[in-house]
Every structure is written in C-alpha cells, then in structure tokens.
Amino acid sequence: MSEARKDDTILDVKNLQTVFFTNSGLFRAVDDVSFNVRRGETLAIVGESGCGKSVTALSVMRLVPDPPGRVVGGTVTLEGTDLLSLDEAEMRKIRGNRMSMIFQEPMTSLNPVMRIGDQITEVLRLHQEMTSREAWAKAVEMLRLVRIPEPDRRAQEYPHQLSGGMRQRAMIAMALACRPALLIADEPTTALDVTIQAQILALIVDLQKTLGTGLILITHDLGVVAQTAQRVIVMYAGKKVEEAAVEDLFENPKHPYTRGLMASMPAVISFGAKTDARLNEIPGMVPSLTNLPPGCAFAPRCSLAIDRCRAEYPPLQEVDGDHFAACWRAAELVGAP
C-alpha cells in the first residue's frame, strides 16, 4: 500500500474473523478478511448468498448478534479509532454519526410509528448540539438533498405513506444526516425496480462525491459493481478470494470463481446472441460453511482444480499490481473469461 493511499484511509479492516456457534457446530462466517476504504472511495463486496458479505458489514458496525455470533479476531480501525476495543456506549456515539449503514429493506431502520422528519431529527440531536427546530430544518434539508419532492410535507409523513424508492431515499437521508466518514450499503437496491435502482444508485454516488463519504457497497450484481465501485472484493465461503481495482477485475479476473460469475451472467447486450443459447454455468452449489472441504473451498466446483487445491488452501497473493487472488492457478488466468 502506497503512502498516499494510507493517508486517505478511513476504514482499515485487518484479518477480521467472525464466527457463529450453532447447533450444527461452529463456523467461520468471515474468515481472515482484510480491506480498507479511502475517503470518497467506493469499495464493492460481491459474492453469492451466505458468503459473509452482511456479516462483514455487521462486524464493522459491531452489530453481529451475540449469541450466536462473535468477532473473534482482527482489527477494525475507523478514522484511527480501534472499534473492537470500544464498549457499547462508545459505539453508539459512532454509529449513525461517523459511520452509518443502510439495508435492503428500509423498514429495518425506519420506525413505522414515527414521522420521517422526527426520525432524522432524533439522529441529529443524538449526535450534535441542536435545538429541535434546527434539527427539523436540517432534516428537511436532508430530504431535499436526497431529492424527495416536497420535503416539507414528506417530513411530516410516516414511512408507510412513502413508496419503496422514497423510503430508501429517506433512509439514505437519515444515514447521511451527520455526514459520516463511512457509509455501508447492504444490497440497497436489490428490492427495487430497475428504473428506481438507477435513480438510487445515481443518488448515492452523487452524494458520496459531494460529501466525500467512503462507501462500502454490498451487492451480488456485477452490473452494479461495474457502474459504481472503484475497488472490488469478491468473497466465497467466508473468505476474500479476490481484490482489485474495478477495471482490472473486469478486464482480467484472476480467480476462477470470479470468472465463473462473470461468464454465467446473462447480458442484455447479448441480443445478437443466438436465441436461447445456453449460459456458462458454475456446476454444483455453494458449500455449507459448517462442512467446508479442506484446501480451496471452490475446488468441488472448479474446472481447473488440481490435487494441490484439494489439499492446501491457496493464500491470497498479489498476482498483479494491487490485484490479489487466492488461487493456486491465478497466474495462468489471463484476460476476460
């Protein structure tokens, strides 16, 4: 990591380990994951259901439900503060203030029986010295910032009176009200229609630029990644298997899983493609975390697997400038899939 990059770093996560204790045993939902986010940068985390994206985010927010889960290793440093050493009271001063999180389903963070304006006012007054009047005015300003029409009127409404896209905007307004250094967005547009998704993504990227917020965008949609992120990490079965700048990742994916994901995606642009041509598929299914194979977790589905893959876990290595992959055969993989 160069010095310039280090200086701008808002969030630095090192060797994060989060485990769950369940009936079927202990499993590592997040296993030795490291990354950092710079001011104004978007880091995308991609991967399939259950690979540990949300648990990574919750670990950073210190919101992993305990029991059954617990962060058991690593460090999380936000603007120089080691979050894992803080107590809950200190964390509450940071959440919603220096870092915020938004979810796929806005109703998980909105209170159904409180007016939108009051909810934003509450967050503001929790973290900043403000009269309720000032806070209300700021709340309306935030609603305007996220381009909710008639923000004065909407501030007086309850969440159920808003459409899905509008609720997502209100949640973004609340998350950004205190100008956090870091925003974590967990599948923020997955539940939305594509035209509304385009509006919300454009809004998030726009605000992030204006405010200089660092953004972690969790998604399973490679299109969303390509259109928003500067850096990307790909997760599989709790581990980071690849990390690269977005252009490098799409031009030259180095992990067979990343390549498989890219190849299995139908593209609207493939119109020219023969009608009903088959897609490339990744065979098999995502392994259960309680029952991972020894060696590379992707080996049972990987067409390139060799004996070594089944015996030894491939370490994450720099395969190109600032491009990392955890695969024994990464060096052989060149160009787009």
Partner 1 sequence: MTDQRPLLEVTDLVKHYAVRGGVLRRRVGTVHAVDGVSFSVAKGETLGLVGESGCGKSTVARSVLRLVEPSSGAIKLNGTDITGLSKAEMRPHRRSMQIVFQDPFASLNPRMTAGDIVGEPLGVHGLATGRAQQERVAELFGQVGLRADQMKNYPHQFSGGQRQRICIARALALGPSLIVCDEPVSALDVSIQAQVINLLIDLQRKNDFSYLFIAHDLAVVAHISHRVAVMYLGRIVEIADKTELFANPRHPYTQALLASVPVADPKAKKLAPMIDGDVPSPINPPSGCAFHTRCRYVMDRCKVERPTLVKAGGQHEVACWLNDGTGRAENS
Ligand X SMILES: Nc1ncnc2c1ncn2[C@@H]1O[C@H](COP(=O)(O)OP(=O)(O)OP(=O)(O)O)[C@@H](O)[C@H]1O
Residues that bind Mg ion (CB under 5 A): 54
Nearer to ligand SF4, 177 or 282 (CB): 282
Contact status: 240 vs ligand X (CB under 6 A): no
* Cβ-based nearer residue to partner 1, 123 or 297: 297
Q: From CA 73, how far away is CA 114, in angstroms rounded?
A: 38
| Residues between 225 and 264 with contacts to ligand SF4, criterion CB under 6 A | 256
Q: How far is the CB of 82 from ligand X (least distance, A)?
A: 23
Residue whose C-beta lies closest to Mg ion: 54
Helical ranges in the chain per DSSP H: 3-7, 53-61, 88-94, 116-127, 132-145, 151-155, 164-176, 194-211, 222-228, 246-251, 256-264, 307-311
327 binds ligand SF4, rule: CB under 6 A: yes
Cα gap 333→252, rounded to integer Å:
8
**Of 13 and 302, which has the nearer Cβ to Mg ion?**
13
CA angle 302, 308, 313 (to 5 degrees): 80
| Residue 309's binding partner out of ligand X, partner 1, ligand SF4, none, with CB under 5 to 8 Å set by partner kind | ligand SF4
What length does the chain have? 337
Q: Candidates 49-57, 166-174, 201-209, 317-325 — which segment interacts with ligand X by CB under 6 A?
A: 49-57
Among 38, 53, 95, 301, binds ligand X (CB under 6 A): 53
Of the residues 35, 59, 60, 69, which one makes contact with ligand X according to CB under 6 A: 69
250 binds partner 1 (CB under 8 A): yes
CA distances from 57 to 100, 130, 136, 221, 322 (A): 11, 30, 30, 17, 23
Q: Is 150 in the site for partner 1 (CB under 8 A)?
A: no
Token look-up 């998980």 returns 108
| Binding to ligand SF4 in span 286-305, by CB under 6 A | 296, 298-299, 302, 304-305
CB of 16 to Mg ion, least distance (A): 16
Show contacts of 283-290: CB within 8 Å, 24+ apart.
286/48, 286/49, 286/50, 286/51, 286/236, 286/237, 287/237, 289/27, 289/28, 289/29, 289/50, 289/237, 289/238, 290/22, 290/24, 290/25, 290/27
Q: Which is nearer to ligand SF4, 158 or 313 (CB)?
A: 313
Binding site for ligand SF4 (CB under 6 A): 256, 296, 298-299, 302, 304-305, 309, 314, 327-329
